[in-house]
Structures are given as structure tokens and as C-alpha cells.
Amino acid sequence: MAEVKLDLFRRFGDLATDALASHREEIDALNVFPVPDSDTGTNLYLTIAAARDRLREFTGTDWREGLRAFSRGALLDARGNSGVILAEMIGALLRRLIQATEDERTAAVFADALRKAANAAYAAVGEPQEGTMLSVLSAAADAAEACVEIDDTARTRDVMSVAASAARAALARTQEQLPTLAAAGVVDAGGRGICVLLDAFDTALTGRRPSPQEPASHIPIPIPPGLGGADGHALEPGGPAYEVMYLLDAEDAAIPDLRKRLQPLGDSLVVVGGEGIWNVHVHVDDVGAAIEAGINAGRPHRIHVTHFAEQIAGQAHRHGTRSGRAVIAFAAGPGLAELFRGAGAIVIEGGPHRRPTTSELLEAITASGASEVIVLPNDAPTRQSAEAAARTAEDDLDINVAVIPTRTQVQGLAAIAVHEPGRKFDKDVLEMTATARHARHGAVTISNTRAITMAGPCMPGDALGVLDGDFVKVGQDLETCATYVLARLIGGGGELVTLVSGLEDPTGELARSVAAWLAANHPAVDVMVYDGGQERYPLLMSVE
């Protein structure tokens, strides 16, 4: 099989995330099985967004490691029953691609990968049901295998197109296969999500988008029976009251016994993962017993418990339970984190290879308790994740969320400096946005590779000056590059310069030298120097 291009999966990640964002409310409304909690679309969306985010952070050249990153992102941040099953599907499919040999036909490998994904999903679910996302993917795999068997010239795009079409046909049959769906007059929500994902992969391969006249567009959007009723929820009488999820560090050999311990506790049991890390999902009445089973198997962490009655009843009472305004900021270093906290922000710490996922940002927005939230992504890739989290929070929680388009840490500092909680929300957002955009920014770093830049060729170890995201100076020392960048920044005028020293400048010597240069050459300009502790950039600079 030919090498898998990571750009294909990057396109798929973006297309799938956008598609599930568009169809999320539709899929949530279809959600009547196994529990009518109206969150299947949201859970699939957050799971695939997490996989996309992890692949974005991958900077290596080994495509196999890139696919492992995509799979791990889905596993670690899978949400709900549907998200955990999706993570297992993704993991099995990508493992098959990674294990492919050079002499295997690419189309046949993709067909077999779909079969492996379907089989793994059936194996992971405690009590598999036909008429669900399992049977929809299985039908897609059947069609894909038939395609390569019948036509030995079929290409990967042909296989995936046939699979997507078969999935849509299988989705229509789910209503006949599952009495719960027939009673509600709907098709399966998870199966609908699989169709959206396969269509997105087909688009990533071919550029074609599903026709709006296709059957998937005409699926009814019901209100599940009992929602908003007198009892506050629509759970089946006698069904488990809680959803328990956790990540589990455990040896593979401990998992069969874990499944045996969890099986009699409730239903909707799904345990997926491998190589020491697992994602566990189960619906139970005895939360303690479910967690204790995990403790006996290994180390459970990131434990999440949802009470279904409160979750469903809360759908009608979310608005009005929140108050105030919060600012959430991504900080790329401990010093920067303290600066943002000092200005009143809720901080998510990270770095160039530890950016917050959509799921983490959504959790921070939700946990803030505020009815108005301003997000400072302070990084271009994080901005996309923040926008996705903001859409979900606004649609599901009635939280007014604004994402300020800060691409750098210093823009975020400039924005939060003018934040006024007492102002009207729109005016506060406008002022912070304008200030961030007017903050001209630059940085210096060290090259770790041989490359051609806008400023000419560079070698490993060369100092690089960065202006507004572009390399504008290649030099032998950081101070020369820093003063060159700052001279260009200050050339457009300015009253305040902010310098933030990084991890590679622990004593602040570089920042002090640049501040001294500024005092000698532009004595009327104020300067503020901070210890940011950020990786990769020994010095960040901005001019306001």
C-alpha cells in the first residue's frame, strides 16, 4: 500500500468536525436509544474534534505516528456511549492502515480497515444491537469489500463512495431493526453520525459533497417522548440512573475481568483502547461499584458521572442558572499563566505541543458558571478549537461566548489589559478585539532544521526573527534578531512595548538587553518586561 498522506486525514478531520457541527442538533434530536438524553450528535462532534486537534498538534514526518495521534485524540477525549464506540472504530481502522504492507492494494486495505472497525465496535460493546451505528458501519464495510472483490481496478475513492452510499441505505433500515426507533418514528442517531463521517471522508478524497436531495437530508427531527414531561425525564422505567466514564491505566490482561465485573452492574457497557490506556463507559445505578471495578483493574482517572434525570431535565432549565462574565485564556508558559490569572482569567496551561482541545475548552466554559464568556485562544490552531467549543456552549447551554481572535500570547495580554467586567458584553468584546488587533507582535526563536525562509536560508542553530508570524531575519545571535524585529515594530509608532522572556532565557538577560536597546534608541516609549516561561520562543514582543 502506498504511504497514507496525513493531509488526507487533516482534511477529513476538518470536514468531519464541520459536518457534525452542522448536523449536531439534528442528530441530538434523533437520540432515543439507548437513552433519550439528546447528546449523541454532540458527543460524536466533540470526539472527532478532539482527534482533529491532536493531529493538528502532530509536527512529525512519520505518517504512522500521525495516524496514532489522531486515534489517541479520539480515545482520550471520547464523549458518551457513541463517542467511545467511534473512538474504537477509528482506532481499529487506523491500526489496519498502519499495519498495511507495500504490496497490498490500497483500496483493499481501506475496505478491510472498515471491516476491522466494524468488528472492533461489535466486540467492544457489551450487548451489541442491530439497528445502531454498529450495523450501519457493518453495512458500509460489506459494500466496500464487495467493491474490491468485484472490481480489481477500484480505487480508494470508489470504495469509500460505495461505503457511504451503503451506510445511508442501512440507516434507513434501522427503524425496522430496533423497536424503540420505530415507536419514535426515527432512524438511529449514531448511525446518522456514521453517515455524516463517511460522507466527510468521501469529500476529503474526491471533493464531492453529498447532494442535499439525498435521503439523509429528509430524516425527521422528533422530540423524544417524555422530554419536558412532568417526570422531568424520559428514561425507561427501571433503567440505570447514571452514566459513568473514566480513562483507565491498566494492563491489557486486566480488561476481560473488568468487563465481567461491570456487565452485571448495568447496561451500555463499552470498554475500548489498548496498550495500557482504556476508555470505560457504562450506565449503572451503583456509581461506586463501577469506579471500584476500575480501581481493581488499574488506575482510573478523569472520572465523569452524569445523572440522566438531571441532565435531561436541565435541558429546559439551563438558561438563567448562570451569571456574570468569565475570561478563559490559553497560556503557553507558567509565567504567562500567572499574568492571565492576575488579570482575572481562568487559565488553561499548555505549550506548542500541548494545546487545549475543543473538549477541554468546552469544559472550561461550562465550569466557569458564567452566562457570558470571553475566550482568548492566543494561538491560531487553538482559535479553531475555541470557535467549535463556543458554538456548542451557545447552542446547548445558552451561554453567550465570544472568541477574541488573538493569535499570540502578547495579543492576549493586550486584550485582557482592557477587559472591563462592568461594561456591556458586546462593548467589552469590541474593545478587547480592537486592542488585540492593534498590538503589533514579534518574537525570536532558534532554528532546529535546515529550511528556506522569507529572510533567506537557515541552518540548525541559527537565530530567527519573527514578525507577525513570518520569518524576517536570520542571524547568529538572538539579541541582534530581537532588536531588528523590535525596530520594525516600533517603526510604525507606539507608546508601550511588552517583552516576555521564555524558557530559554531563564534569567531574563535577553529581555533586559533588548529593553536597554529600546531605552537608548526610543527613550519616550514605555517598556514592560515579564517572565513568561514559554517554550520555543526565548522572547515575545508587542507594541501598542
399 CB burial (10 A radius; 0-12, 13-18, 19+): buried
**pLDDT, average across residues 349-369:** 85
Topology (CATH level 3) of domain 240-316: Alpha-Beta Plaits (3.30.70)
* 3-7, 161-165, 201-205: least confidently modelled range: 3-7
Q: Using pLDDT thresholds of 50, 70 and 90, give the confidence band for residue 226.
A: very low
Q: Is 158 left (phi over 0), alpha (psi -120 to 50) or beta?
A: alpha
Of residues 217 and 314, more confidently modeled: 314
Q: Using pLDDT thresholds of 50, 70 and 90, give the confidence band for residue 68.
A: very high
Asked if residue 401 lies in contact with residue 365, where contact means CB atoms within 8 angstroms, the answer is yes
Q: Using pLDDT thresholds of 50, 70 and 90, give the confidence band for residue 318.
A: very low
Q: Using pLDDT thresholds of 50, 70 and 90, give the confidence band for residue 235.
A: very low
The pLDDT tens digits of the residues spanning 488-536 come to: 999 878 889 999 999 998 889 999 999 999 999 999 889 999 999 999 8
Of residues 478 and 226, more confidently modeled: 478
Q: Which CATH class is domain 440-543?
A: alpha beta
The pLDDT tens digits of the residues spanning 11-36 come to: 999 999 989 888 887 888 787 655 55
* 75-84, 182-191, 312-321: least confidently modelled range: 312-321
pLDDT of residue 308: 67
Which residues have CB under 8 Å from 392's CB, separation 6+? 24, 42, 45, 46, 358, 362
Q: Using pLDDT thresholds of 50, 70 and 90, give the confidence band for residue 392.
A: confident
Smallest CA-to-CA distance from 499 within 461, 474, 534 is with 534
Helices 63-76 and 80-99: angle between axes, nearest 10 degrees: 160
Question: Rounded to the nearest 5 degrees, what angle is found at the Cα of 333, between the Cα atoms of 330 and 339?
Answer: 70
How far apart CA 146 and CA 512 sit, in angstroms, is 68
- Statement: residue 207 has pLDDT above 90: no
Q: Facing residues of 466 across strands? A: 443, 471
Whole-model pTM: value is: 0.63
pLDDT of residue 391: 84
**pLDDT, average across residues 420-441:** 89
How far apart CA 368 and CA 123 sit, in angstroms, is 38
Q: Which CATH class is domain 6-219?
A: mainly alpha
- Statement: residue 393 has pLDDT above 60: yes
pLDDT of residue 239: 66
Smallest CA-to-CA distance from 278 within 289, 266, 293 is with 293
Asked if residue 383 lies in contact with residue 403, where contact means CB atoms within 8 angstroms, the answer is yes
Domain boundaries, the chain: 6-219, 240-316, 325-438, 440-543
**pLDDT, average across residues 229-252:** 68
Helix, strand or coil, per DSSP, at residue 105: coil
Average pLDDT value over all residues in the chain: 86
**pLDDT, average across residues 430-438:** 91
Of residues 219 and 18, more confidently modeled: 18
Of residues 445 and 391, more confidently modeled: 445
Topology (CATH level 3) of domain 325-438: Rossmann fold (3.40.50)
Q: Using pLDDT thresholds of 50, 70 and 90, give the confidence band for residue 124.
A: confident
